[in-house]
Amino acid sequence: MTAEPTRIEPFDAVDVIRAKRDGGAVPEPALRWMVDAYTRGYVSDAQMASFAMAIFQRGMERDEIRVLTDAMIASGERMDFSGLGKKTVDKHSTGGVGDKITLPLAPLVAVFGVAVPQLSGRGLGHTGGTLDKLESIPGWRAALSNEEMFAQMQGDVGAVICAAGSGLAPADKKLYALRDVTGTVEAIPLIASSIMSKKIAEGTDALVLDVKVGNGAFMQDIDRARELARTMVALGTDSGVATTALLTDMNVPLGLAIGNANEVRESVEILAGGGPADVRELTIALAREMLALSGQPDADVEAALDDGRAMDRWNAMIRAQDGDPTAPLPVAKETHVVTAPADGVITRMDALPFGIAAWRLGAGRARAQDPVIFAAGIDLAVKPGDEVRAGQPLFTLSADDDARFARALEALEGAWEIGDTAVPAGPIVRERITA
């Protein structure tokens, strides 16, 4: 029996690492090889970690980021929705505290005959995950086959929120896990290529990016948020996906609910024409952006929220994935109410500590394999600008174990403030980035 010949590799990982370490641009063939060789295990985790750190320190040119993204797409399958007979549009958020916008947004956009293939993820740390929120609905199922996705979008439902299949950009999945443990998460070329490789491989015609900026966001500095948005818009545009981005505020929690089941409740309030003003405003802004990219710039999205059409789509979408939209949502066993120590005005309510507190209550996970407690979280009774009286409830912590309250309260020390004068709130949508 003749042994298979040893594969001769065209490049050496050390040479690719050195090229980037020394500030040069990695040639396209070498960069494509690096991604492929890492995906199949020839390039080691240690070598790819070194390469990621070189990217973190030296950055990448626009064309390098395009090649990196394309190589990650090429590592797996690419979905094709051209047979749907209607346009497809997706939204991606970089994540924040209380960000449940995908839930009301997908069915709202679907009302207008546009298909919404919303491939979503789970939460990690202080940022919540869309799938975790939806899994608090009894029976709801995140895992769908490509055939089930296609049928749901082609039919009367028109929208699907589900987990991305393992076949989409497997190189990104492997590299993402490595970045998380090597201090290279914040590198803009790696963030942009990670997000856009999955979104482009998803096969959508158009994409709207919600890039959060503020103390509760991944990007706390507006200049870096702007750079990330511009990089991702360029990647989408270069790949033939109509792409725009909104920079949106994440200095204050979005809405009044932070958690999973409570965020579903708030989303249903939005679909019923009510809910917190900031959640409604951002849902409408993103829906208008998505529909404009789909050729409907004048769509009356507010009417679709107020007259029940978006709610009807929500109910159909949840039922299509085996969920019961009428079933009671989980309720926590224990609650702890924090009250105002004095009269005054809420002048500050920092998003990040509230996200960390909700995570410590059980609403989030420290490791990917950890379970979440659907009923855990925080419900706000006030937001910055509201007048309060001493003894008035400010927010309620919920958990299944009252032993969790101490560490959650510890996270919230200094996170909010009562003063004499309200600070005017800034706009939710801070900038719009286009190609």
Residue 96, Cα to own-chain centre: how many angstroms? 8
Determine how β-strand 334-339 pairs with β-strand 89-93. Answer: unpaired
State how far the Cα of 6 lies from the Cα of 237, in Å rounded to an integer: 40
- Residue 183 is predicted with a pLDDT of 85
Least-confidence region, from 58-72, 107-121, 361-375: 361-375
pTM of the model: 0.93
Mean pLDDT (the chain) is 94
**Domains with residue ranges and CATH for the chain:** 13-59 (1.20.970.10), 82-327 (3.40.1030.10), 334-419 (3.90.1170.30)
So what's the pLDDT on residue 124? 63
| pLDDT higher than 90, residue 327 | yes
Mean pLDDT over 214-226 rounds to: 93
pLDDT digits (tens, 9 = 90+) for 147-205: 999 999 999 999 999 998 778 899 998 998 888 788 888 899 999 999 999 999 999 99
> Which among 324, 308, 329 has a CA at the least distance from the CA of 257?
329
Tens-place pLDDT, residues 120-155: 887 766 677 899 999 999 999 999 998 999 999 999
Query: How many other C-beta atoms lie within 10 A of the C-beta of residue 74?
Result: 16
CA distance 261 to 415: 24
Alpha helices for 3-61 (secondary structure H): 13-21, 28-39, 45-58
Beta bridge partners of 432: 246
pLDDT per residue as tens digits for the range 268-294: 999 999 999 999 999 999 999 999 999
Higher pLDDT, 256 or 125: 256
2 pLDDT higher than 70: no
d(CA 214, CA 155): 39
Residues in the chain, overall count: 435
Report the distance separating Cα 111 and Cα 313, nearest Å.
Answer: 7
Distance between CA atoms of 120 and 128, rounded to whole angstroms?
Answer: 11
pLDDT-derived band at 403 (thresholds 50, 70, 90) equals very high
In this predicted structure, the answer to whether residue 14 has a pLDDT above a threshold of 90 is yes
Distant-in-sequence, close-in-space partners of 329: CB < 8 Å, separation ≥ 6: 136, 137, 261, 264, 265, 374, 375
**Tell me: the pLDDT tens digits for 232-250?**
999 999 999 999 999 999 9
Percentage with pLDDT > 70 across the chain: 98
Residues carrying an active site annotation: 92, 172, 179, 194, 198
Q: State how far the Cα of 304 lies from the Cα of 108, in Å rounded to an integer.
A: 7
More confident residue, 378 or 165: 378
